[in-house]
Amino acid sequence: MSGHSGGQLTGHKLEFLSDNGGAYIAHDTRQIARSLGLTPINTPVCSPQSNGMAESFVNTFRRDYESRMDLTDAPTVLAQLAAAFEHFNDVHPHSSLKMRSPREFRRQLVEQMRHAQFEPPVTSLWGQFKTGGKVASRLSREGQKEKR
């Protein structure tokens, strides 16, 4: 999130994640979220993992950010949110991510995926046999036929 301007949040697309409780799926609640530039979304029905993630975020944000914010009024709070979210995503260590920030975790994951895609192709029959390649299974079948 990069800021708040004229009732519209600018920068990144922001979602308002909530469970399926009546207060959160009510038309008025969703309308208020949209008027603030948020896209209301709900966790999947019967999904305790999603509810747990949302609750964990709220608890962490309250403990580590809201408790240190100037809560004088809504404009003051909104002015502080961009920096808080930036810190949460770039710097704040998360135990579920092995004490990495979400962006650091994602960068490492993308790098691992890139590395895995650029593994050199297997060129020997032995390499294909070890990796379960089609040549190995074909040779194995041919060998079984010869034994009969």
pLDDT over 90 (residue 38): no
d(CA 148, CA 144): 7
User: Which ranges in the chain belong to alpha helices (H)?
Assistant: 22-25, 27-35, 48-64, 74-90, 102-117, 125-130, 134-147
Give tens-digit pLDDT for 91-141. Answer: 998 888 889 988 898 889 888 888 777 655 555 444 444 444 444 444 445
What's the CA gap between 88 and 85, in Å, rounded? 5
Short-list 121, 135, 1, 33, CA closest to 41? 33
- Of 44-53, 81-90, 107-116, the poorest mean pLDDT is in 44-53
| Res 143: pLDDT | 52
pTM above 0.75, yes or no: no
Please write the tens of the pLDDT for every residue from 15-37.
Answer: 887 777 777 778 888 898 889 88
Sign, CA torsion 126/130/131/134: positive
Q: Give the pLDDT confidence score for residue 119 in this predicted structure.
A: 59
Indicate the domain borders of the chain: 3-116, 123-147
